[in-house]
Amino acid sequence: MSTTAPHSLADVTASDGTLRRFLHGLPGVDAVGLEARAASLGTRSIKTTAKAYAIDLAISMVDLTTLEGADTPGKVRALGAKAVRPDPTDRTAPATAAVCVYPDMVAVAKEAVAGSGVKVASVATAFPAGRAALGVKLADVRDAVAAGADEIDMVIDRGAFLAGRYLKVHDEIVAVKEACGTSARLKVIFETGELSTYDNIRRASWLGMLAGADFIKTSTGKVAVNATPANTLLMLEAVRDFRAQTGVQVGVKPAGGIRTSKDAVKFLVLVNETAGEDWLDDHWFRFGASSLLNDLLMQRQKLATGRYSGPDYVTVD
Amino acid sequence: MASAFEYAPAPESRSVVDIAPSYGLFIDGEFAEAAGGQVFKSVSPSTEEVLSEVARAGAEDVDRAVRAARAAFGKWSALPGAERAKYLFRIARIVQERSRELAVLETLDNGKPIRETRDTDLPLVAAHFFYYAGWADKLDHAGFGPHPKPLGVAGQVIPWNFPLLMLAWKVAPALATGNTVVLKPAETTPLSALFFADVCRQAGLPRGVVNILPGYGDAGAALVAHPDVDKVAFTGSTAVGKEIARTVAGTRKKLTLELGGKGANIVFDDAPVDQAVEGIVDGIFFNQGQVCCAGSRLLVQESVHDEVLDALKRRLSTLRLGDPLDKNTDIGAINSAEQLARITALADQGEAEGAERWSPACELPSSGYWFAPTLFTGVTQAHTIARDEIFGPVLSVLTFRTPDEAVAKANNTPYGLSAGIWTEKGSRILAVASRLRAGVVWSNTFNKFDPTSPFGGYKESGFGREGGRHGLEAYLDVR
């Protein structure tokens, strides 16, 4: 992918000016065309074996999440149990990828999923607003990592981004990445609903990847517009292009608003036909969704038994 | 867990359409055999299966149909516009109600993917009838004088690439303005027009207002030459269009021609690349490239040539070719063995003349008429594949350096039907579009159709406009 940046990618972050020129030199996004493409991929008809494969894949990609002020150790333990064994009636159902909790619950979650391979992710950096001093954010991250978090979900400073202070956003991500050390992977949340334009989302994606994000993630799930097929398609194009240019593969996580199996399958079609099968794996693609899991499980039961069950045949945790 | 996401087949059910073993001509509200007793077979291009046997119209049948249309003209044209509108609205609604049946039928008979007949063709067919129904009682205010009059009997000859849509483009404005119709569908795709005859009966359309004559070129020629035809409308090849123009010259008949094209799709270096790639794909692989306004010449600015081509090749590798009735199929079958031979010959000539040929890894079904999506790079204006209309899934890629050069190359063709411009700069869109000699110029999109938008050509792409308010003019006496 060509850009107007005069230097190699390493020099892009030399100053606010070079970074700005690079990000604004990325090809534009035509909103109508982007949304039309996302809609047309949404008409793929996924049946029988392909559907069974997609549902299991989607379950294995879920970051089972509880992010409430009212979270308690009991709630987190219940969530952990569900992540490890989502369907108590059918042990062939795969485990979810991770449980996602606030930093103070990491230790509890870690214990709940111990030995299962399920990861513990934590939303550090003054989630969801991100309105705190860098020192506070970094302390938040270090706390979570020290408690054993395998993954850190950070929010970017949308205020700085919208004000055009890209280098500040970049440096903050770099600092958080450093605080993650070698033990935790970093997911960078853009809050796409607040970035508002597709051009901004593409710029944020590249900014996040240049700063060392392991994952780029749409949103916190706490605002009106969260993950959409179009913004996820755009981010998939970004990781695909970034790998083509740098050789570095970055994961993608749409979060918020994905509630049905049908929607989840549509997102997997986007992955399959945009970034490709290298991303069809829980190491490179995740769903940030809590209510999605039960619908996936009900669809899975339907495929296995030929009958629809109902909400009482899946757990409420 | 499988290693990749293989989509299981998702075929649309054939049982929604009931194809009779044989069909007659539709004249004066009845199905009838051809006077000469001749028949021909309609085959499914994706399987070569014979779908039905269809009566083949000859000169005598044309005469019968024109007389029926003439007899119906008096009453039909005398109806208040609002009355004619009722019939058109009824037809539009019946088309909507039967759209799944008609989409499956069209896919079987034409070979195009169900995704396109379902999502593009049928919605547009209904939209055209709805749109022109709305005009039927407003003709006095359409800008063609206080009381524009219908012309009389319209002889219409349509092609095989969009059988039902081209029928709608022609029949809807003709009926809205008070004309009666004799329509000849193409010999490879007569079935949806015959189903449309049934739709007309279902709508209670008076006898003789619409007559349908499946047949070959001889029937078309007889229709065009018939002395009692007042208006000729043709969509098809430039060669046949020229022949028709000669036939009609010196008569009182009004004529519109929608002929071939060699559309330029111009990608500037500041284009939204991912969306431009989608537009290039839509431009040339929609309906297997069998589109007169296809963007068959990609003009890409040299500075982004490699980037755009890499992205395009990657994208082509995800196109799904195969059973047109599968809802996941992007590329269906070529309409006929004859058309496949023409595409093959022109592609071979491109290679022989030194252009570089590329296709994605793509398995073609063993029966039926298939051609893999194909790109030619290193094409110049001097190559045959940059000048001749291929009418297939073959894209010629040329380069340019400046907007002036892009415009010069885009216009350097005997045709002038369509063009596309891809740039993020609004002022450039306006500046370039105003200099392109093409009937339709799309910006940051391609192959979008709407009944409100006039469509037609410059130069050897024909004359007259279909669609929109302009489309009424071709069927009205606007002296």
Choose the mutation target among A30, A237, A266, A285 for the interface with B, i.e. most B CBs under 10 Å: A30
Chain B residues inside the 8 Å CB shell of A202: none
Region A21-26 average pLDDT: 96
In this model, does residue A16 exceed pLDDT 70?
A: yes
Chain B residues inside the 8 Å CB shell of A29: 272, 274-275
Instruction: Tell me the pLDDT tens digit for each residue of A214-245.
Output: 999 999 999 999 999 999 999 999 999 999 99
For residue A7, the model assigns a pLDDT of 42
**SS3 call for B231:** strand
Q: How far is B442 from chain A (nearest CA, A)?
A: 13
Whole-model pTM over 0.80: yes
Instruction: Tell me the pLDDT tens digit for each residue of A55-85.
Output: 999 999 999 999 999 999 999 999 999 999 9
CB-CB under 8 Å, B444 with A33:
yes
Q: How far is B331 from chain A (nearest CA, A)?
A: 14
CB-CB under 8 Å, A33 with B278:
yes
Chain A residues inside the 8 Å CB shell of B3: 277
Structure tokens that stand for A277 in this block:
């099968």
Residue type at position A130: G
Residue type at position B227: P
- A137 carries an active-site annotation: no
Question: Which residue matches tokens 């194009």?
Answer: A237
DSSP code at position B158: -
How many other CB atoms are found less than 10 A from the CB of residue B246? 9
> Exposed (0-12), middle (13-18) or buried (19+): which is B352, by Cβ within 10 Å?
exposed
For residue A309, the model assigns a pLDDT of 87
For residue A10, the model assigns a pLDDT of 81
Q: What percent of chain A has pLDDT over 90?
A: 94
Of B422, B122, B124, B151, residue with least CA distance to B271: B422
The one catalytic residue in A253, A263, A266, A282 is: A253
Q: How far is A188 from chain B (nearest CA, A)?
A: 23
For residue A8, the model assigns a pLDDT of 66
How many other CB atoms are found less than 10 A from the CB of residue B149? 16
pLDDT tens for chain B, 479 residues long, are: 334 799 999 999 999 999 999 999 999 999 999 999 999 999 999 999 999 999 999 999 999 999 999 999 999 999 999 999 999 999 999 999 999 999 999 999 999 999 999 999 999 999 999 999 999 999 999 999 999 999 999 999 999 999 999 999 999 999 999 999 999 999 999 999 999 999 999 999 999 999 999 999 999 999 999 999 999 999 999 999 999 999 999 999 999 999 999 999 999 999 999 999 999 999 999 999 999 999 999 999 999 999 999 999 999 999 999 999 999 999 999 999 999 999 999 999 999 999 999 999 999 999 999 999 999 999 999 999 999 999 999 999 999 999 999 999 999 999 999 999 999 999 999 999 999 999 999 999 999 999 999 999 999 999 999 999 999 999 999 86
Determine contact: A32 vs chain B, CB below 8 A.
yes
A94-123 in b/e form (b: 16+ CB < 10 A) is: bbbbbbbbbbebbbbbbebbeeeebbbbbb
CB-CB under 8 Å, B424 with A277:
no
Chain A residues 210-269 within an 8 A CB cutoff of chain B? 237, 268-269
Chain B residues inside the 8 Å CB shell of A54: 5
For residue A289, the model assigns a pLDDT of 87
Residue in A closest to B422 by C-alpha: A30
ipTM of predicted assembly, 2 dp: 0.94
d(CA A275, CA B334): 30
Chain A residues inside the 8 Å CB shell of B9: 47
The partner residue sitting opposite B327, judged by closest CB among A29, A45, A280, is A45
Choose the mutation target among A24, A37, A44, A45 for the interface with B, i.e. most B CBs under 10 Å: A45
Residue in B closest to A54 by C-alpha: B5
In this model, does residue A87 exceed pLDDT 50?
A: yes
Instruction: Tell me the pLDDT tens digit for each residue of A105-160.
Output: 999 999 999 999 999 999 999 999 999 999 999 999 999 999 999 999 999 999 99
For residue A317, the model assigns a pLDDT of 79
Q: Which residues of B touch A (CB under 8 A)?
A: 1-10, 115, 119, 270-275, 278-279, 303-304, 307, 318, 327-328, 424, 444-445
Residues of B with catalytic roles: 258, 292
